[in-house]
Amino acid sequence: MPFDWLNPYHLQVASFILINVILGVSIYVTLATGQLSLGNAGFMSIGAYTSAILTTGHGVPMVAGIVSGSLLAGVSGILVGIPALRLSGVYLAIATLGFGEVVRVVFINWESLTGGAVGIAAIPQMGREILAALRDAGFSPESLGLQNNQFISLAVFVILSVTTLAVILFFLRLANSRVGRAYGAIRMDEAAAEATGIDTTYYKVLAFSQGALLSGLAGALYAHATSYVSPADFTYHRAVEILVFAVFGGSEHLLGPVFGAMFLTVIPEVLRFVNDYRHIIYGTLLVLMMVFRPQGVIDPPLLDRLSGREPAEGH
């Protein structure tokens, strides 16, 4: 067997890292305009449930389900983002946190659609679906020297890698575009941005719905990676976890939350023995970061130094 080293468990962890990376980017995008949204767990659940319901109950193909889940989350983002314009800072954080809780309670109570606390099981799993499709076309993973479960995990990992990479590249480009500069200006000083002719309303809502869409995408992917969703996956703790990714990794550059999500998902897996104290470590990290490095591990000056460039002016 040429691929003995390919351990589905490692691929599994890697896949969850990638989903968390998308979640990290989702909170970053909204934060890029200075808006802290803690509603991402809510948007994530909208994406997850939409795709789960469409694919299990209505025979919709998985790709269409994931796309509709993301889009519906994005639209909800617009609907929440517009009234949220009136709020800022902690008010916005708490209101969005409240939004997430309301969504969860609705999913618990809307039993006919969501199955309540029991959740939705037997959601088509990406890897298994692909394997089944390829099987029909006469392909067998053994021909590549892979076992079935290796192939399944690998397929999930590849899909998620491509998606995540696309997301990161898109938003890296965006950061250097007109839109990205507008985001940055709004984050620095909203009034000044407004005065220079930037349509702050438009850009703030855009950022909000982009974040929501990404959370929805992550949720839909999560649903098709685990094949089971229930309201318990999208609690306050999930919202805080997403926040920690951005805070720890850094919220001034896109690569910050990407790094945060990777690091904080790997550590508990590598150090499973620290699992007992994992949450205490999370909490301590949050406090220490705020005290010693509020901008997070990764910030633009660090990136400049890493890439050997002269620090840009103004940092």
Q: How many CA atoms lie within 13 A of 139 on its CB side?
A: 13
Contact characters 107-126, other proteins, x per CB under 8 A = -xx------xxxx-x---x-
Task: Give how far Cα 141 sits from Cα of 127, 128, 138, Å.
Answer: 12, 12, 10
Residue from 294, 305, 311, 312 touching other proteins (CB under 8 A): that is 294
The string over 145-155, giving b where at least 16 C-beta atoms fall within 10 Å of a residue's C-beta and e elsewhere, is ebeebbbbbbb
Q: Give yes or no for residue 270 binding other proteins (CB under 8 A).
A: no
Residue from 21, 37, 74, 101 touching other proteins (CB under 8 A): that is 101
Residue range at the interface with other proteins (CB under 8 A); choices 60-68, 175-183, 209-217, 267-275 = 267-275
How many secondary structure helices (H) and strands (E) does the chain include?
14, 0
CA 292 to chain centre: 26
Q: Give yes or no for residue 12 binding other proteins (CB under 8 A).
A: yes
CB of 117 to other proteins, least distance (A): 4
CB of 135 to other proteins, least distance (A): 13
Please identify, using beta-carbon distances, which residue of 98 and 170 lies nearer to other proteins. 98
Amino acid at 281: I
Q: Give yes or no for residue 266 binding other proteins (CB under 8 A).
A: no
Task: Give how far Cα 79 sits from Cα of 25, 96, 105, 110, 126, Å.
Answer: 20, 12, 19, 21, 30
Q: Give yes or no for residue 95 binding other proteins (CB under 8 A).
A: yes
Please identify, using beta-carbon distances, which residue of 171 and 248 lies nearer to other proteins. 248
Q: Of 267, 286, 240, nearest to 16 (Cα)?
A: 267
Residue from 64, 102, 113, 165 touching other proteins (CB under 8 A): that is 102
Please identify, using beta-carbon distances, which residue of 1 and 169 lies nearer to other proteins. 1
Please identify, using beta-carbon distances, which residue of 54 and 204 lies nearer to other proteins. 204
Q: Give yes or no for residue 40 binding other proteins (CB under 8 A).
A: no
For the chain, report the end-to-end CA distance as a whole number of angstroms.
Answer: 52
Contact characters 159-178, other proteins, x per CB under 8 A = --------------------
Residue from 64, 132, 290, 312 touching other proteins (CB under 8 A): that is 290
Amino acid at 200: T
Q: Of 258, 231, 80, 38, nearest to 165 (Cα)?
A: 258
> Cα–Cα distance between 93 and 107 in angstroms, integer?
21
Cβ atoms of residues 220 and 204 within 8 Å: no
CB of 116 to other proteins, least distance (A): 6
Contact characters 218-257, other proteins, x per CB under 8 A = ----x---xxx-xxxx--x---x--x---x---x------
Q: Give yes or no for residue 297 binding other proteins (CB under 8 A).
A: no
Q: Give yes or no for residue 4 binding other proteins (CB under 8 A).
A: yes
Q: Give yes or no for residue 1 binding other proteins (CB under 8 A).
A: yes
Residue from 105, 169, 188, 306 touching other proteins (CB under 8 A): that is 105
> Cα–Cα distance between 142 and 135 in angstroms, integer?
11
Q: Give yes or no for residue 83 binding other proteins (CB under 8 A).
A: yes
> Cα–Cα distance between 315 and 307 in angstroms, integer?
16
> Cα–Cα distance between 81 and 83 in angstroms, integer?
6
